[in-house]
Amino acid sequence: MQDPCQAREVLGIVGDKWALLIVRMLKDGPRRFTELKRAIDGISQRMLTVTLRDLERDGILTRTVRNVMPPHVSYELTTTGQTLREATAPLLEWSITHLPHIDAARAAYDNR
């Protein structure tokens, strides 16, 4: 079990509830904090802040502050972030094709 240790690490990076959603939101260029908050349904201000910080720390995205009033902070994927997004694409495709099947499996399991 050496590779799987990396699997565990990669989940530490993208495995939380919001990271992939944020990465996905940034695929078409930089976005501002409030823009992300509005677009990602259900995320709290705190969780957006925390997740963005983590992703910045991991070098997935960059945080750019323009020191004006009201504050203007924008987030943008790094090249590493771009490759990450590409790597997660198959998983997203998988989810689109298989989620109905999984919902069915769940329903069947719960009905036993």
**Which positions touch a second copy (CB under 8 A)?**
1, 3-11, 13-17, 20-21, 24-25, 39-41, 56-60, 80, 83-84, 86-96, 98-99, 101-102, 104-106, 109-110
Q: Which stretch binds DNA (CB under 7 A): 20-28, 42-50, 82-90, 97-105?
A: 42-50
* Residue 53 · residue 22 · CB < 8 Å: no
**Should residue 104 be labelled a site residue for DNA when binding is judged by CB under 7 A?**
no
73 interacts with, out of DNA, a second copy, none, CB within 5 to 8 A per kind: DNA
